[in-house]
């Protein structure tokens, strides 16, 4: 069976074959959670009509209604505007945190379209997906801001990022895709990579999974190959390249965050964004300590604290979304 994410997207677009429809049907019969997920994504896809529709879908005939709604309509005249618009429906990757939706429309008719900046902000405790008009797919992590033009130019595709995102860039040899972050520009033609560039961090971390990317720091230009990670020190503009397993740095989009010998103070910042909490800790004491482990979206912050306590003896107090951590 094809990857379920791409199969669901294809189904929402009304492009699945009868065999693929049967695969979708068998998949949703495997568990109530699968059925809820499909209908939740269908719910958000309804932003195609430029409106939110949060009703619940409970019957199988809704699948056919969805397909009919999204099938292109035949006409003897010109294709309607809806047929030439790509609607980038924001699909929130929900892990027990509820659903939200936003959309951006990107028009191919650049002469008639007004070029404006579109801004997407994902708050703490949430993860979003966005599909751009060119077919690029972006996972956007917590406390992240993504800015893009409503219309891509004929020469290049440019987005600006503050925070963390994973990119699956659609190939277009005539229009390079550029990601601009504070102190660095990334240029690709078609590839998959992760960028972590939070404003409150001294580093910009770029991890390449497939393809090739060019990094321009203003001081130097570097080619990154699959399995390589660049770390740019924003204080001195120094770039370091190392070999890594890219999966360890993009697992967050699948509901888990993997740490390998990570500075504990940096881990605290990740946990704050991941669970939408505020952590108070003596950084002078914990600085230099390292943590390895996995935290999951469907767990709460207490799970992380107990996991940490097995490595470093700590005491903690939880008051709603406030967490105070001290050493024993």
For residue range 291-300, list pLDDT tens digits in order. 888 888 788 8
Of residues 191 and 106, which shows the higher confidence score?
191
Structure tokens at 58: 């409970």
Helix (H) or strand (E) holding 92, with range, is strand 91-92
Kindly indicate the confidence band of residue 41, based on its pLDDT and cuts at 50, 70 and 90: low
Determine the 3-state secondary structure of 245 from DSSP: coil
The closest of 273, 294, 298, 285 to 326, measured between CA atoms, is 285
Q: What is the CATH number of domain 256-327?
A: 3.55.50.30
Report the candidate in 271, 263, 305 with the shortest Cα–Cα distance to residue 287. 263
Q: What's the token pair of residue 262?
A: 């990570």
Nearest to 127 by CA among 95, 93, 99: 93
First-to-last C-alpha distance (Å) of the chain = 51
Q: Residues 17-46: what's their mean pLDDT?
A: 72
Per-residue model confidence (pLDDT) at position 115: 60
* Residue whose structure tokens are 């390895």: 292
- pLDDT over 50 (residue 70): no
Report yes or no: 165 and 186 within 8 Å, Cβ to Cβ. no
What is the CATH number assigned to the segment(s) 84-248? 2.60.120.1440
Confidence class of residue 24 from pLDDT cuts 50, 70 and 90? confident
What pTM does this model have? Answer: 0.62
Q: Is the pLDDT of residue 209 over 80?
A: yes
Q: Where are the domains of the chain?
A: 1-71, 84-248, 256-327
Alpha-carbon distance of 270 to 264, in angstroms, equals 10
What is the average pLDDT score of the chain?
A: 76
* pLDDT (average), residues 225-237: 92
Is the per-residue pLDDT at 107 higher than 70?
Answer: no
């Amino acid at each position: 069976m094809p990857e379920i994410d791409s199969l669901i997207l294809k189904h929402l677009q009304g492009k699945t074959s009868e065999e693929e429809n049967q695969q979708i049907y068998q998949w949703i019969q495997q568990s109530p959670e699968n059925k809820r997920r499909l209908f939740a994504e269908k719910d958000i896809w309804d932003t195609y009509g430029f409106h939110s529709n949060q009703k619940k879908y409970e019957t199988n005939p809704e699948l056919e209604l969805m397909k009919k709604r999204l099938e292109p309509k035949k006409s003897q005249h010109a294709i309607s505007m809806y047929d030439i618009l790509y609607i980038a429906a924001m699909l929130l990757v929900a892990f027990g945190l509820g659903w939200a939706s936003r959309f951006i429309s990107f028009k191919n008719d650049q002469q008639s379209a007004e070029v404006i900046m579109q801004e997407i902000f994902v708050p703490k405790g949430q993860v979003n997906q966005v599909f751009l008009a060119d077919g690029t797919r972006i996972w956007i992590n917590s406390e992240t801001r993504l800015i893009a033009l409503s219309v891509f130019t004929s020469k290049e595709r440019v987005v600006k990022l503050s925070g963390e995102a994973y990119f699956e860039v659609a190939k277009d040899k005539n229009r390079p895709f550029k990601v601009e972050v504070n102190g660095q520009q990334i240029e690709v033609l078609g590839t998959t990579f992760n960028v972590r560039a939070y404003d409150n961090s001294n580093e910009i971390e770029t991890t390449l999974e497939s393809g090739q990317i060019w990094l321009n720091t203003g001081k130097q230009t570097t080619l990154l190959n699959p399995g390589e990670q660049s770390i740019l020190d924003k204080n001195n503009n120094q770039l370091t390249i190392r070999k890594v397993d890219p999966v360890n740095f993009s697992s967050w989009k699948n509901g888990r965050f993997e740490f390998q010998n990570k500075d504990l103070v940096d881990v605290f910042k990740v946990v704050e964004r991941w669970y939408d909490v505020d952590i108070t800790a003596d950084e002078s004491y914990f600085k230099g300590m390292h943590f390895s482990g996995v935290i999951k979206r469907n767990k709460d912050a207490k799970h992380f604290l107990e996991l940490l306590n097995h490595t470093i003896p700590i005491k903690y107090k939880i008051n709603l979304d406030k967490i105070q951590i001290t050493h024993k």
